[in-house]
Amino acid sequence: MQNSNSSRLALVAAAAVMAIPGLAKAQVKVGVMQGLSGPPAIVDFGESYLQGVKLALKDYEANGGKTKIELVVYDDEANPQRAVSLAQRLIQNDRVPVVIGTVSSGNVLAMAPLFQKAGVPLVAGPAAVTSITQQFINEKPSYIFRCSMVTRFETNAVTDWAAASNRKIGLIHSTTGAGLTAVKEIDEDLKAKGKSLAVVEAAAPGVSDLTPQLIKMRDAGVDLVLNFHESYELTFRPLSRINYRPTIAGPWGLSSMKVPDIVGRDALEGTIMSQAFDASTPRGKSFNERMRQEYGSAYRWPLVASLGYDAGQIVFKAVEHVGKADPAAIRDAIEDTDGLQAVTATPTRPFSATDHECLDKKDVFLGVWKSGTVERVK
Amino acid sequence: MTFATLIQLMIGGIASGSIYALVALGLYVTHLTVDKVNFGQGDFMMVGAFLLLSTRAAGLPPLVCVPLVILALGLLGWALERVAIRPLERARRSPLGSYSWILTTAGVAFILQNVIELVHGRSVQHPTPLLPGGHDAIVHMMGVGFALEELLVVGAVAVLVAAFYFFVFRSRWGSSILAVAFNPEASSLLGVNTPAIKTGVFVLASMLAGAAGVLIGTLITLHPHIGLIFTIKALIVAAVGGFSNPVGIFVGGLLFGVAESLSNYADSSFGDLYPLIGALFVIAIKPSGLFAERAAHVR
């Protein structure tokens, strides 16, 4: 009997606390959409980015965030139709005031109009295709932001270096939308710098061997191969067999810790890629250590995870600032983000009314594989 | 194109084509006997590859792992026949009953993909090399680099095809398979254990997929969804070679692999398309396949 009375008292007390404004924490749902199944390259991006977002939430809570944040996580399977359907679900059913995601650029481009029309801010990532934030930037206001690498910036960084290196350049790319966009941008960049591609070779996304393409590169005397095929490892596999050792440079995907596991450290040594995370800085070192503690061997992609972390920081800070599920106010708070302590090269004030990218061209630098780790190219 | 380049391209194509042929032989033997194929044959190969990955990671030597993997796949083939094919015999007379095995075998393939995803994750995996030195074990002759692992694949498949041919066409067990293929009811009356033969051909097909799984890791990186494309290519190879001729299937596999390699050299943008168009032409002109016997089927 006494127990029963105690329970009732506890329930009444809890109800009273909930009923008094200011005593209970406000709760805001944050939508997260990522590619968590489907092609392995997509999954590596999606899982790594989500790891970063989750660590940012943990830090937000540890630092005494007043607004309780609940993540609503969905897997879009890298499927544009599913992404659109999930976007509608997040907006209409879950009524989230802000969303983070996703991997596939095609998915982001397909669902961005829904978020813009509904007036719900989307912080895109880790999708990289250049046009993502440009779609609505002239609409005042634009609800589409991004915290990720930007294809144009990374091809700029790679082609700047390639053009200065005075080598014969070849390009291998996939026949996906992202691959074809990269070809166009690289070709334009190199022409603007007075250079041209000696050989351009393509491969479908699901191929298992690039020997024919690399033989053509070798026979044309190409000594710098720009590797913009998403199955990064395939470019390395035939090299010793066809007695060919060019320098390989490519996109940020080449910095995944899965790549040395697959390709081997020796084959990867000296490979160049675009970067926005410097593991040698105190903040970078600390982030790496914390991610290893949190995720162990499942932590495999510092750059993608760190961009996810920064996206999380920006969104959670904006939610905290607004304190309720108000999409328009959260959008404004995201755009006004200032004093951000980013772990990537993202500046302290990343956005403005005309720039919704975390990273600018100047923030993207080159990394190189040295003895199993990615170092910043000096 | 130099002669050395041509040889280099051909050896890569022959290695890939050998795997297609091995997967296709599994389709051939079940089609020959019970007029059904396992639509998850490529996924069975994938399971074999991941089983090898697990057993090697556990520290077992290749000489122990390889027979273990092939035996395990044999068991999987037995289970497939008992669970996903034999129960459908009762539904044969229903409108869709005789084709239900397409759904059940494809369903088993999806289940296997998901199980492997749960165990190994969705990321790509790099198998432990079968030979010391792995992909870097190269022999250079006349300006051509031969990867020892590729030579191993071609040699192993040639031996397996010869053994398969001997087993089916020269052994007593093979005679029972052909007898069941010709007339299952008459075979039963003559004392052939027809149900056991029907199960046995799926066991044999799965063991061939297991052997392909052991070898495929030397050529490509693995992930749980590699199976479907191999099933499709194996079906094409079987159709091009002739569904009633195992040697034709082997040659068809090699031709398809070499065609892929050469077409990717000629035009990498549509490299995988030209062999498929070629296969369509072959099937249109000679529907029974390039190497089909006059009697397209033992029946």
Of B5, B135, B269, nearest to A219 by CB-CB distance is B5
Q: How many CB pairs under 8 A join A and B?
A: 89
Domain layout of chain A by residue ranges: 27-149+281-364, 152-250
- Cβ distance of A43 and B147 shorter than 8 Å: no
Write the ipTM: 0.81
Nearest to A377 by CA among A249, A200, A216, A206: A249
What is the tens place of the pLDDT at every residue in A110-124? 999 999 999 999 999
CATH number for B3-285: choose from 2.60.220, 1.10.3470, 2.60.40, 3.30.450: 1.10.3470
Determine the residue type at B282. Answer: V
What is the tens place of the pLDDT at every residue in A168-186? 999 999 888 778 888 888 9
Nearest to B38 by CA among B160, B257, B207: B207
Query: Using a CB-CB distance cutoff of 8 angstroms, which residues of chain A are in contact with residue B145?
Result: 240-243
pLDDT values of chain B reduced to their tens digit, one per residue, 299 residues:
888 899 999 999 999 999 999 999 999 999 988 888 999 999 999 999 999 999 998 999 989 999 999 999 999 999 999 999 888 877 666 665 677 889 999 999 999 999 998 898 777 788 878 888 777 788 888 888 888 999 999 999 999 999 999 998 889 988 999 999 888 889 889 888 999 999 999 999 999 999 999 999 888 888 898 999 999 999 999 999 888 788 889 999 999 999 999 999 999 888 889 999 999 999 999 888 888 764 445 44
Q: Could you give the CA distance from residue B291 to residue B238 in angstroms, rounded to a whole number?
A: 10
Check if A208 contacts B (Cβ < 8 Å): yes
Check if A238 contacts B (Cβ < 8 Å): yes
Check if A283 contacts B (Cβ < 8 Å): no
Determine the straight-line distance between the first and last CA of chain A, rounded to whole angstroms.
Answer: 74
Check if B152 contacts A (Cβ < 8 Å): no
- Cβ distance of A231 and B221 shorter than 8 Å: yes
Q: Could you give the CA distance from residue A108 to residue A129 in angstroms, rounded to a whole number?
A: 9
Domain layout of chain B by residue ranges: 3-285
**How high is the pLDDT of residue A78?**
84
Task: Find, in chain A, the residue whose alpha carbon is nearest to that of B150.
Answer: A241
Cβ neighbours, 10 Å, residue A191: 12
Check if A206 contacts B (Cβ < 8 Å): yes
Q: Which CATH superfamily is domain A27-149+281-364 in?
A: Response regulator (3.40.50.2300)
Q: Residue B75 in 3-state DSSP?
A: helix
Q: Which residue matches tokens 């033969």?
A: B197
Determine the residue type at A299. Answer: Y
- Cβ distance of B117 and A38 shorter than 8 Å: no
How distant is the Cα of B236 from the closest Cα of chain A, in angstroms?
Answer: 17
**How high is the pLDDT of residue B136?**
76
Are both A27-149+281-364 and A152-250 of the same fold? Answer: yes
- Cβ distance of A211 and B117 shorter than 8 Å: no
Q: Domain A152-250: state its class.
A: alpha beta
Q: Could you give the CA distance from residue A323 to residue B194 in angstroms, rounded to a whole number?
A: 73
- SS3 letters across chain A: CHHHHHHHHHHHHHHHHHHCCCCCCCEEEEEEEECCCCCHHHHHHHHHHHHHHHHHHHHHHHCCCCCEEEEEEEECCCCHHHHHHHHHHHHHHCCCCCEECCCCHHHHHHHHHHHHHHCCCEEECCCCCHHHHCCCCCCCCCCEEECCCCHHHHHHHHHHHHHHCCCCEEEEEECCHHHHHHHHHHHHHHHHCCCCCCEEEEECCCCCCCHHHHHHHHHCCCCEEEEECCCCHHHHCCCCCCCCCCEEEECHHHHCCHHHHHHCHHHHCCCEEEECCCCCCHHHHHHHHHHHHHHHHHCCCHHHHHHHHHHHHHHHHHHHHHCCCCHHHHHHHHHCCCCCCCCCCCCCCCCECCECECCCHHHCEEEEEECCEEEECC
Structure tokens at B76: 């999987």
**How high is the pLDDT of residue A231?**
79
Check if B12 contacts A (Cβ < 8 Å): yes
What residues in chain A have per-residue pLDDT under 50?
1-2, 16-23
Q: Report in angstroms the alpha-carbon separations of A59 from A49, A53, A317.
A: 16, 10, 11
Q: What is the pTM of this model?
A: 0.80
Q: Report in angstroms the alpha-carbon separations of A155 from A228, A242, B80.
A: 10, 28, 49
Please say whether the dihedral angle defined by the alpha carbons of residues A60, A62, A68 and A73, taken in this order, is positive or negative: positive
Cβ neighbours, 10 Å, residue A164: 10
Long-range contacts at A250-253 (CB < 8 A, ≥ 24 apart) = A250/A158, A250/A226, A251/A128, A251/A149, A251/A151, A251/A154, A251/A155, A251/A158, A251/A182, A252/A128, A252/A149, A252/A154, A252/A276, A252/A303, A252/A304, A253/A41, A253/A45
Of A204, A233, A241, nearest to B221 by CB-CB distance is A233
Query: Using a CB-CB distance cutoff of 8 angstroms, which residues of chain A are in contact with residue B271?
Result: 202-204, 207, 212
φ and ψ at residue A271, rounded to 5 degrees: -75, 135
Determine the straight-line distance between the first and last CA of chain B, rounded to whole angstroms.
Answer: 47
Cβ neighbours, 10 Å, residue A95: 13
Long-range contacts at A195-198 (CB < 8 A, ≥ 24 apart) = A195/A159, A195/A162, A195/A163, A195/A169, A196/A169, A197/A169, A197/A170, A197/A171, A197/A226, A198/A168, A198/A169, A198/A170, A198/A222
Four-point Cα dihedral A13, A18, A24, A29, nearest 10? 140
Structure tokens at A236: 């390395």
Evaluate whether A283 touches A28 at the Cβ level (below 8 Å).
no
